[in-house]
Chain A
Amino acid sequence: MSTATDTLEHDAHHDDHHHGPAKGIKRWLFTTNHKDIGTLYLWFSFIMFLTGGAMAMVIRAELFQPGLQIVDPNFFNQMTTVHGLIMVFGAVMPAFTGLANWLIPMMIGAPDMALPRMNNWSFWILPFAFAILISSLFLPGGGPAFGWTFYAPLSTTYSTDSTALFVFSVHIMGISSIMGAINVVVTIWNMRAPGMTWMKMPMFVWTWLITAFLLIAVMPVLAGVVTMVLTDKYFGTSFFDAAGGGDPVMFQHIFWFFGHPEVYIMILPAFGIISHIIPTFARKPLFGYASMVYATASIALLSFIVWAHHMFTTGMPVAAEMFFMFATMLISVPTGVKVFNWVATMWRGSMTFEVPMLFAIAFVVLFTIGGLSGLMLAITPVDFQYHDTYFVVAHFHYVLVSGAVFSIMAAAYYWLPKWTGVMFDTTLAKWHFWCSLISVNLLFFPMHFVGLAGMPRRIPDYALQFADFNQWISVGGFAFGLSQLIFLALLIKACRHKGEPVSDQVWDGAEGLEWEIPSPAPYHTFDTPPVVK
């Protein structure tokens, strides 16, 4: 596309209009540059991934053998709770926001995000949110110990005072997400390059646009429910207390009305990423672009009417159970369309298997396994047996770790050369991939077995029949944790620009505006919009 190149040459003559990045810490504190903010988000997310991962290591160490060895049950509950909160709100969501910041302006030919100062703000409140959350662990009685789902009344009447900090911290996370989402919507709506009609938008942009609407719709619901928890605990309200006319099950309805769309918030951008990587390395256009867009939108809409499938054992009327069972089963139709489309994209392509493609293929396989166990969980009568067992833990870790997290890693490997201008260390990257792939399956696959055999989740100690598998699971967990240190080493190396310089296109089959600007991507891009034909 010659237009883009023209623009860049044009830019070169007007360099005096720009300042480059400021020097030192001020660059990062005061930056309004989408690339800088993207980098901040991504590093923050990685640090949180390692922090939440360290907590998972504590959990797995305690569960290595039956009996209590390392931590007491109260601290164990804090670990499962904070691990979940950090991974959901601190690792996966900021990683996708970081990718959105880096990529959306470059993909739609915009110079920056639409609301750059708010962008700075929405990042910089996050470290405070997590500092508050993590510091609550050091209070007398410890931090939140009621699970990341904080069911009332365990989180209200029966919780410690760390609840107040937990609520405040979740509020900040929510505000950050809402601001990030507004920014994405406004940017995509207003700042697409001339000629980039809706149905020409890259899939990552489409999936993020839909994700942003989900965020705007449900984060206020989360804010509402944590506020109700706060007032129930401290201000004498009885939203979730039957003694005052409330209902503890209402908490779960409100929470999961947020929580289920939240699940898709964490997977739709992943679908976008995979829809970029597979066509590139298959050297063939994405199969069924339009149906991909419609499938994403259908999944998002359906996500609002399936929340109570998390609550089949709460004692709903049988008609409600059937409605939520059928609606949940329906979600597998558009999700299936996506998987079939990826496979059809590979079919009769000319594939190569660079590291981003390895992660993308692993994503398709392992996410599908997680999706299929999700379909099993939708069947209400059987869900009575699966519910709150390790089968559920296996299911959501397959879709979140080998799904969402693998897609983020795939994205990092795919776009890293564009960001840094150098090819990452491919040997380290392959080690990272194979170690992660093997260990993630050793970690999560046996969880299906212990879950079916009857091991409940969130227990610090277990009956002897579960001992062998738990040992394997823990070994897998430690191996997966250590494998991520390879990734850390690789990222540090890449950020110091150690490696072979890459071309603008980087990957043989890559298409899209972001591959037409120089590598590394200049501090400012698309001051004059390119024209998309």
Chain B
Amino acid sequence: MKKLTKFFLVCCSVLASVPILADTAESAGRSDLNLRQGVTDISQQVYDLHMLMFWICVGIAVIVFGVMFVSIIRHRKSRGVKPANFHESVKVEIAWTVAPFIILVLMAIPAAQTLIAMEDTSESDLTILVTGSQWKWEYKYMDSGINYFSNLATQREQINNKFAKGENYLLEVDRPLVIPTGQKVRFLITSDDVIHSWWVPDFAVKKDANPGFINEAWTMVNEPGVYRGQCAELCGKDHGFMPIVVIAKSPDDYAMWRDEKLEAIAQAQAEEERLLAMNMSMDDLMENGQKVYMAKCAACHMPNGEGLPGVFPAIKGSNIALNDQPKHIDILLNGVTGTAMQSFSKQLTLSEIAAVITYQRNAWGNNTGDVVQAKDIHAVANGN
């Protein structure tokens, strides 16, 4: 039985060495073994609670397993031990019912204090509406009205092992959320379709995005930096591919970013107006449309337009893509209620929608020859 004892000793020492290893990794800013301390006062408190719990559990394990192993080593038949015959002791049993209870009360007090602080979303400086949808996040700054979608930026070729994987593989987005440091930022969290969960480990914030309901969370980041997280609730096929990136900037830098962003939005609107009056060539539409399709549509309808039978419908050879152009535009603009097809009117510009519809009506043998322009979309969107 030496083997058994030895193995368990190894187990125990592995368990005990966890925080030691974690300490060395932390100097590099992030741990591959342990919870991270994060960059907010709350995340630090959570980390401290975690370590407190961990050490209490290690203590309990050492005592219980220690007694057990002493017994396994000493009280064995092969050593000629005669068994004792005791089988109850009210005193001992009361002791080991009451003692754990006291330990629990001691744990519960700091846990409750941290919990109350975490759930106090009052007196925030900035409110951001976070909306999950399959499989991207939308951020809306309630004060300035800045509103944009944040998509996975990792190339498909990296996921399919054709290109080498980058440093932030699966943890990079096209447009990160930007927040100021030192200010209390309140998040209103909801969803457009299924349940998602918005999680940034460095803030110790994880809150479900429930369709039709709004949850609240908050953070106050101490240090500028880039913080990465992921969706934490199974939300369908690409659940593993909807990361979160938050950039915390000093209040001055944040204000600068906000002004630039507002200006860029104004410019984009002007550009949109200009494009409305223009007719684009078929080649331009197809080229632009393919880009949009690969970025927004291919996850479900597949790069070859054939969809996933039984899950996501094919566009290749579909009646709507071949014959019913008004319906096609309507679906892109408004989505299809009761299905995974979402509205793209906020995610894409009119010219992008025009391009992708043209692409869908002419790619993969859907050779309708239809050319759809931004003004056609504009007409449908405004009901004429």
Contacts and interface: CB of A to CB of B under 8 A. Distances in A.
Nearest to B65: A365
Nearest to B79: A350
A452 B167 contact: no
A385 B206 contact: yes
A31 B93 CA distance: 45
A379 B213 contact: no
Interface string A350-392: 1111000010010011001100110110011110110111000
A189 interface: no
A461 B152 CA distance: 13
A459 B87 contact: no
A376 B50 contact: yes
Interface centre among A153, A161, A241, A382 (most CB of B within 10 A): A382
A299 interface: no
A330 B240 contact: no
Nearest to A334: B97
A248 interface: yes
Nearest to B166: A464
A453 B64 CA distance: 28
B87 A142 contact: no
B35 to A, nearest CB: 5
Contact of A343 (B68, B111, B171): B68
Contacts of B71: 343, 346-349, 351
Contact of A459 (B15, B239, B311, B340): B239
A403 to B, nearest CB: 15
The B interface, classified by DSSP as helix, strand, loop or mixed, is mixed
B81 A456 contact: no
A66 B165 contact: yes
B14 A445 contact: yes
A289 interface: yes
Contacts of A286: 87
A436 to B, nearest CB: 12
Interface in B163-205: 165, 167-171, 189, 193-195, 197, 199, 201, 204-205
B208 A453 contact: no
A337 interface: yes
The A interface, classified by DSSP as helix, strand, loop or mixed, is helix
A343 B72 CA distance: 10
A247 interface: yes
Interface in A262-285: 282-285
A307 interface: no
A18 B96 CA distance: 52
Interface in B204-240: 204-208, 210-213, 215-216, 229-240
Contacts of B231: 456
B208 A314 contact: yes
Given A348-B84, A464-B167, A151 B195 contact: yes
A243 interface: yes
A322 B118 CA distance: 12
A141 B311 contact: yes
B127 to A, nearest CB: 16
A520 interface: no
A353 B75 CA distance: 11
Contact of A387 (B31, B116, B206, B340): B206
Nearest to B68: A343
A395 to B, nearest CB: 12
Interface in A307-359: 313-315, 318, 321-322, 325-326, 329-330, 332-333, 336-337, 339-341, 343-353, 358
A169 to B, nearest CB: 18
Contact of A284 (B83, B160, B165): B83
Contact of B237 (A73, A348, A441, A469): A73
A130 B333 CA distance: 42
Interface string B75-111: 1111001111111110011001100110010011001
A368 B61 CA distance: 8
Contacts of B14: 445
A218 to B, nearest CB: 23
A364 B8 CA distance: 12
B159 interface: yes
A460 interface: yes
A351 B4 CA distance: 14
A445 B231 CA distance: 24
B135 to A, nearest CB: 10
B87 A289 contact: yes
A372 B60 contact: yes
A313 B96 CA distance: 33
Interface centre among B60, B78, B212 (most CB of A within 10 A): B212
Contacts of B233: 151, 313, 388
Interface residues of A, number: 107
Contacts of B53: 375-376, 379, 382
Nearest to A150: B234
A460 B237 CA distance: 9
Q: How large is the interface on B (under 10, 10 to 19, 20 to 34, 35 or more residues)?
A: 35 or more
A473 interface: no
A339 B116 CA distance: 33
B108 A326 contact: yes
Contact of A347 (B67, B199, B234, B310): B67
B381 interface: no
A135 interface: no
A313 B207 contact: yes
B160 A333 contact: no
Contacts of B86: 287, 348
Contacts of B168: 463
A69 B161 contact: yes
B11 interface: yes
A368 B65 CA distance: 9
Contacts of B46: 381-382, 384-385
Nearest to A311: B208
B234 to A, nearest CB: 5
A157 B335 CA distance: 14
Contacts of B4: 353, 358, 361
A160 B310 contact: yes
Nearest to B3: A434
B236 A154 contact: yes
A381 B88 contact: no
A133 interface: no
A325 B197 contact: no
Given A151-B234, A318-B116, A385-B201, A285 B82 contact: no
Given A340-B96, A462-B240, A384 B310 contact: no
Interface in B1-56: 1, 3-4, 7-8, 11, 14-15, 18, 30-36, 45-46, 49-50, 53-54
A465 interface: yes
Nearest to A74: B237
Contact of A348 (B50, B83, B112, B169): B83
A140 interface: yes
Nearest to B88: A288
A351 B68 CA distance: 12
B116 A384 contact: no
Contact of A315 (B31, B82, B171, B207): B207
B13 to A, nearest CB: 12
A47 B71 CA distance: 37
Given A290-B88, A459-B230, 5 more contacts: A73-B241, A151-B233, A161-B310, A283-B77, A381-B118
Interface of B: 1, 3-4, 7-8, 11, 14-15, 18, 30-36, 45-46, 49-50, 53-54, 57, 60-61, 64-65, 67-68, 71-72, 75-78, 81-89, 92-93, 96-97, 100-101, 104, 107-108, 111-112, 114-116, 118-119, 134, 158-161, 165, 167-171, 189, 193-195, 197, 199, 201, 204-208, 210-213, 215-216, 229-241, 308-311, 338-340
12 contacts: A140-B310, A141-B308, A241-B212, A326-B108, A347-B67, A350-B75, A350-B77, A361-B68, A382-B53, A385-B50, A452-B34, A463-B171
A-B interface, 10 closest residue pairs, ranked by CB to CB distance from nearest: A242-B212, A141-B310, A459-B240, A140-B310, A315-B215, A372-B57, A348-B84, A141-B311, A350-B83, A285-B87
